[in-house]
């Protein structure tokens, strides 16, 4: 019996739902980057072409899956697929698949996701990419840890984990 992998979104979101601007992260939050690395290492990470290009290379210890409509697109060190169903299929042997962006990929995957791993950056930022609305009646908050700014992390932030209500 082959159990389907858990599908999780991992994302950092500002107060106003901004997640990026000009294909870049807006803030530098080392604690969030460390959490991202700890959680995603050893797993498939699924992203859109623009996110792949903003990262610029495969992330160590992870299998990168890039979704693009361009059938001729090449992403050295990554698996290129044409849609979210193909992305899930190539990662089917994994225990958990992490969706890492960007905005359109999050929107497409949200109905299929089992878990949300959110870093809420407790300030507002200008940006051009937003996380889709999370319908509170579809999710239950499993854990929440608050952090104050420190010498490495400029803003207050919260790590949250939500699970889909069955």
Confidence tier at 29 by pLDDT (50, 70, 90): very high
- Residue 1 domain-assigned (yes or no): no
- Residue 65 domain-assigned (yes or no): yes
- pLDDT at site 65: 98
- Residue 67 domain-assigned (yes or no): yes
In whole angstroms, give the CA distance from residue 119 to residue 47.
Answer: 18
Confidence tier at 23 by pLDDT (50, 70, 90): confident
- Residue 40 domain-assigned (yes or no): yes
Look at the chain and report how many structural domains it folds into.
1
Q: Is the pLDDT of residue 2 over 70?
A: no
Confidence tier at 24 by pLDDT (50, 70, 90): confident
- Parent domain of 69: 6-164
pTM of the model: 0.95
pLDDT tens for each residue of 134-158: 999 999 999 999 999 999 999 999 9
Give the mean pLDDT of 60-86.
97
Q: Tell me the average pLDDT of the chain.
A: 95
Q: pLDDT > 90: what percent of the chain?
A: 90
Confidence tier at 1 by pLDDT (50, 70, 90): very low
- Residue 105 domain-assigned (yes or no): yes
- Residue 98 domain-assigned (yes or no): yes
Could you write out the three-class secondary structure of the chain? CCCCCEEEEEEEEECCCEEEECCECCCCCHHHHHHHHHHHCCCEEEEEHHHHHHHCCCCCCCEEEEECCCCCCCCCCEEEECCHHHHHHHCCCCCEEEEEECHHHHHHHHHHCCEEEEEEECCCCCCCEECCCCCHHHEEEEEEEEECCCCCCCCCEEEEEEEECC
Half-sphere exposure of 110 (CA within 13 A, CB side): 16
CATH at residue 50: 3.40.430.10
- Residue 89 domain-assigned (yes or no): yes
- Residue 92 domain-assigned (yes or no): yes
């Amino acid at each position: 019996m082959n159990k389907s992998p858990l599908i999780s979104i991992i994302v950092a979101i500002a107060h106003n739902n901004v997640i990026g601007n000009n294909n870049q992260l807006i803030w530098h939050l080392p604690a969030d980057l460390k959490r991202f690395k700890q959680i995603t290492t050893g797993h498939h990470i699924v992203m859109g072409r623009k996110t792949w290009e903003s990262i610029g290379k495969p992330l160590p210890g992870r299998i990168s899956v890039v979704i693009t409509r361009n059938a001729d697109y090449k992403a050295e060190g990554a698996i290129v697929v044409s849609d979210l169903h193909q992305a899930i299929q190539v990662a089917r042997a994994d225990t958990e698949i992490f969706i890492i962006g960007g905005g359109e990929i999050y929107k497409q995957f949200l109905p299929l996701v089992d878990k949300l791993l959110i870093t809420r950056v407790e300030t507002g930022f200008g940006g051009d990419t937003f996380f889709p609305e999370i319908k509170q009646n579809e999710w239950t908050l499993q854990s929440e840890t608050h952090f104050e700014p420190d010498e490495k992390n400029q803003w207050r932030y919260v790590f949250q984990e939500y699970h889909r209500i069955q």
